[in-house]
Homo-oligomer: A and B are copies of this chain.
Amino acid sequence: MIHIFCLFVFLLSNTSYVTAIDFCVADLKAAETPLGFPCKSPATVTVNDFVFTKFIEGKPNIFNFSFTSATVNEFPALNGLGLSAARFDIAVGGVVPIHSHADATEVIIMQTGSLTAGFISSTDNKVFVKTLSAGNIMVLPKGLFHFALNAGKEKATANVIFSSVRPSIQLLDLALFGNNFDSALVAKTTFLDPAQVKKLKGVFKGSG
């Protein structure tokens, strides 16, 4: 009986039964396609490819917040799998400025402290704001402006997850003021006062 099974195993392991794809760890050095990176050779993949070990608090910036990303760039095992994660640690008074992620929904999973988070719908510009604490999850639908700030009395920590292996992040201030976007054009297309544009161009090191 045992002998029979051995043959069975032998047969199986020499057929196409054992060639199907389970994962596609990114080969970050190869050229991307619209749907992700080519796969690293499966023969070189080990369990360590599937574990990201630095999902820890980052170095706080002078605003007392830090973030750590685990997107396909830092964690190639996510390639083709459609989700990624980040960790935020926001000190009292810290602000994550208004930004949006094209084509990625974000879900905030609060760990400690509290955050006031919100998004603005595009259909009627309705503002959805809520103060979150541990035990709360909030959905920020894809593509909409959103923000968060720590209006509480202790540091806030949250895990956030995205429905994309690498969400784009367009930060309002950097898009308008942190580049060489012509100041007159900024003013015309935003209706901000030229003086305001000039001031923030200074703050965000933009030119133009």
Contacts and interface: CB of A to CB of B under 8 A. Distances in A.
Interface residues of A, number: 137
Interface in A79-136: 79-83, 85, 95-98, 100-103, 105, 107, 109-111, 116, 118-130, 132, 134-136
Contacts of A143: 22, 100-103, 143, 168, 170
B175 A17 contact: no
Interface string A148-164: 01000000000101010
Contact of A124 (B6, B18, B50): B18
Q: Which of A75, A143, A193 has the most CB of B within 10 A?
A: A143
Given A20-B123, A144-B102, A175-B120, A163 B33 contact: no
Contacts of A179: 120, 124-127
Contacts of A98: 176, 189-190
B5 A204 contact: yes
Given A81-B141, A103-B103, A139-B50, A159 B22 contact: no
Interface in A30-74: 30-39, 41-42, 46-48, 50-56, 61-63, 67, 69-71, 73-74
B120 A181 contact: yes
Contacts of A8: 61-63
A170 to B, nearest CB: 4
Interface of A: 1-2, 4-9, 11-13, 15-24, 27, 30-39, 41-42, 46-48, 50-56, 61-63, 67, 69-71, 73-75, 77-83, 85, 95-98, 100-103, 105, 107, 109-111, 116, 118-130, 132, 134-145, 147, 149, 159, 161, 163, 166-176, 178-182, 185, 188-193, 196, 199-200, 202-205
